[in-house]
Every structure is written in C-alpha cells, then in structure tokens.
Amino acid sequence: MVKKAIQLSDHFTYKHLLRFTFPSVIMMIFTSIYGIVDGFFVSNFVGKTPFAALNFIMPVLMILGCAGFMFGTGGGALIAKTMGESDPQKANETFSLLVYVSAACGVVLAVLGIAFLRPIAVLLGAEGQLLSDCLLYGRIILLALPFYILQYEFQCLFATAEKPKLGLSVTVAAGVTNMILDALFVAVFHWGLSGAAAATALSQFVGGVVPLVYFARKNTSLLCLVKCKWDGKALLKACTNGASELMSNISMSLVSMLYNAQLMKYIGENGVAAYGVLMYVSLMFQAVFIGYSVGAAPIVSFHYGAQNRIELKSLLKKSAALLGCFAIFMCLAGETLSRPLSVIFAGYDAQLLEITVHAFAIFSLSFLCSGFVIFGSSFFTALGNGFISAAISFLRTLVFQIAAVLIFPLFLGLDGIWWSMVAAETAAVLVTLLFIFGNRRKYGYI
C-alpha cells in the first residue's frame, strides 16, 4: 500500500513530522559527508600542509557560497506563507525571481572571489606553500560558485515544494559524484589538491543544475520556474528574512578564521589541522539539527500564513521534544566516537590524533545546546521575523564565539579554545529561550 504524500496543510503528528523532515535530515547529513570527503582524501593522500590549506581557505569560500542559504531559507518562508494564503501564482513568481537573482549573484561573487582570493589569504596569514595551496584549491572551487549557491538554495526549497525526497535524491547524486571523482582524481590519478577541488566543483554543478532543469519543466511539485516581473519588495523581504542564515554562515566562517589564528598562536599547524577535523566531523552531527530545521520551516510558514495557531503550538512543542532526544544522542555519540572518527583524518600522525580526540571529547558537549539554537533561528525565519532570527545567529556565531575564544584561552590555554565552543552554545540557547518566551503572545504558539 502506497503511503499518502504528506502536505504542508496537514496536521503533523510526531510520525508525520519525522516522515516529512527525514529526507531533509538525511540530505544535510549526506551533504556534510561528501563535503568531508575532500578532507579525507587530501589528508591521507596529499599531506598535512595541503589539508591545513584546505581548511584555512574554506571559511572564505563558505562566506561566498552561503548566499544560497539566505535565498533558500528566507525565500522558502515567504513562498510557503504565500501558499498558505492561497496564492500559488504569486508563490511561483517569487520562487522564480529568487532563483534567477541568486544565479546572477553567484556569477558576480565568483568573479570577485577569484580576483581577491590572494590578498584575502595573505591578510589571513597564509604564506609560502600554504598560500599556494590555498589559491590552487580556492580558485577551482570558485569556478562552480553559481551552482554551489543554487545547490544550497534548492536544498531548502525542495521541502517548500513538498518534494523533500527528490531533494534528497539530488543531494545523493551530487555526493556520489564527489566521492567517486575524489577517489579517481586524488587516489588513482594523483592530481593532489587540484583533483580534490575539481571533484567538489563538478559535484556542485550536479547539485545546482539538476534541480534547475527539474523546476524549469512541467513537474508534479508545488513550484515551477515561470516568467516573472521584478519585485523588489518580495526580494528584499526574502533577503532580510534569510539574513540570519547568511549572517550565521558568514559569522561561522569569520570565527573559524579567528580560531585558526588562535590555534596557530598556541600550537601551530597541528592545531589548524585538528580544528579542521573537528569542523568536518561536527558538520555531520550538526546536519541533523540543520536538516530538521530546514524540513520543518515550510510547515511553520504555511500554518502561520493560514493563521493556524493551534498547529503552530503543536509544531513547537513536538520540535522541542524531538530536538531534546537528538541532542542527547548526538552528545553521547560524539563522546563515544571521538577517537574512531578522528582516526579517519589524523590516524597517520600520533600527535595530531591525540590533540583531535581530546578536542572532540570537549566539543561534543556543545551538541546538547546547538540544536535548539539552530531551530530557534530557523523558527523565527519561518515566521517572517528576520530580525530575531538574525539576532540569535549573530549572538551565537559571532559575539559569543569571539568573546569566548579570546577570553577562555587566557585562563585555560589550548583547552580554552575547545571549551569556548561549548560556552558560546550554552549562552546562545539561553538567549533563544528568552526570544521564544518573549514572543509567545505575538505569534500565539504558546
């Protein structure tokens, strides 16, 4: 018996909520895994310095690519709310405008990124072989930036189109492309860092173009690309609403640069490599929270547009319970798997391995809080309150992180850098709870 497709207008039980968000969760996990593949092959087949270079320049590339999340999350909320107000034509026009504008932004950002990559890398402290490797990897990746932005955008919009499973299929296709090409280019052809970059760029091409072709043709989803007029008001609303996700990704990238600088000061290249492993593995854990938030966001937006406050209350309550279970599981898994996961990237260097295992054991405690903060920011984006969403992201990923990573090492040395991540997430979850409680009457979810 074929299960009935879940619609945004449904009442969501725990079972329905998990079914609808599950493809987005797996999609984000898979995205994080295939993103890790570059690090695995570079670390094990190319060397520690190229691996450090990859992690050193990655924050810059993430800043440019995260525009896709801004258009996807902010636009997805606006589109779902419009559908909840029973205006599908306007929803399709808004969807089309966002896709066209984001593609154009990708081209502009790619050109600027290639032009300014060297001075940025030098400013961050790269020199010698580290600088050369940063430029080699970064310039190849930037060639595919427009598709990278579209890939991130469509990962959010597939759920809005009631096609989360199709979004998962596209992500798997892009991921498999990256994995196969990484193995071929790096391990077989020995193309080194350039091979890893080429594999990633081609996978991003797949992840961006396949959805573009799907939505450009007649399809069975709620959305398709149509002719549209310039709507500056809708574009501004989508961008300001999705600014929190843009700010979150930019802030995380900036903070990563600061962490790298602190680690170079306290322990050197081993510290940067260890932090790179930490970020790779943590992406896989955080992907569960991000995927759930991406999957649940259009449901929240739809029922907010339909003025169904009872369902909003139910969604928030159920999400809190599910995220609590996820948080405990993630923390325990992180503590248990810190060594075997670290061995994948740093098993060839005993000193680097011990640093990484110790750091990950501390960092895993942050999973107890991070899921609630990620969902809280996404929840307010879905409600169209970009200001609160941005405030949560800004405090979590920039203010608290910077303050902690500058202060904690003064008292705890190297361990202070690892503990600063836990402290920042703890402060952020308290702020998130205050925002949720303070706006309970305005939105009627409590």
Kindly write down the DSSP assignment for every residue of 338-383, as one continuous string: HHHHHHHHHTT-HHHHHHHHHHHHHHGGGHHHHHHHHHHHHHHHHT
6 in any annotated domain = no
Phi and psi at residue 219, to the nearest 5°: -140, 180
Its domain, for residue 334, covers: 14-443
Query: Domains in the chain: how many in total?
Result: 1
Burial class (CB in 10 A: 0-12, 13-18, 19+), 307: exposed
For residue 326, the model assigns a pLDDT of 92
In a domain, 204, yes or no: yes
Joined tokens for residue 130: 């580290």
Burial tier of 411 (Cβ tally within 10 Å: 0-12, 13-18, 19+): exposed
Q: What is the pLDDT of residue 27?
A: 80
Q: Is residue 4 part of a domain?
A: no
- Check: CB of residue 57 under 8 Å from CB of residue 256: no
C-alpha span between 300 and 13 (Å, rounded)? 14
| Gap between the Cα atoms of 446 and 443, Å rounded | 8
What's the confidence (pLDDT) of residue 244? 67
Amino acid at 46: V
CA distances, 227 to each of 80, 95, 162 (Å): 19, 10, 21
Question: At residue 85, what are phi and psi to the nearest 5 degrees?
Answer: -90, 10
**Burial (CB count <10 Å: 0-12, 13-18, 19+), residue 44:** middle
Asked if residue 63 is part of any domain, the answer here is yes
- Cβ–Cβ < 8 Å for 42, 186: yes
Over residues 279-327, the pLDDT tens digits come to 777 777 888 898 899 888 888 888 888 888 888 899 999 999 999 999 9
The amino acid at residue 446 is I
Residue 287 lies in a domain: yes
Q: Give the residue carrying structure tokens 């690090």.
A: 39
Structural domain contains residue 345: yes
Residue 245 pLDDT:
66
Per-residue pLDDT, 338: 80
The predicted pLDDT at position 191 comes to 92
How far, in Å, CA of 144 to CA of 148, rounded?
6
Q: Are 54 and 38 in contact (CB under 8 A)?
A: yes
pLDDT the model gives residue 2: 45
Structure tokens at 56: 């050193």
- For 434, counting Cβ atoms within 10 Å of its Cβ (0-12 exposed, 13-18 middle, 19+ buried), the class is exposed
The pLDDT assigned to 307 comes to 85
DSSP state of 57: H
Per-residue confidence (pLDDT) for residue 35, from 0 to 100? 61
pLDDT of residue 4: 64
Residues of the chain with pLDDT under 70: 1-5, 34-35, 244-245, 249, 269, 345, 347-348, 446
Residue 203: the pLDDT is 92
Is 8 a domain residue?
Answer: no
Q: How many CA atoms lie within 13 A of 13 on its CB side?
A: 2
Is the residue at 53 inside a domain? Answer: yes
Taking the model in full, what pTM does it have?
0.74
Tens of pLDDT along 221-270? 989 999 988 988 888 888 887 776 677 767 777 777 777 777 777 777 67
DSSP 8: T
Q: Which residues of 137-159 are buried (b: 16+ CB within 10 A; e: fewer)?
A: bbbbbbbbbbbbbbbbbbbbbbb
> What DSSP designation does 415 have?
H
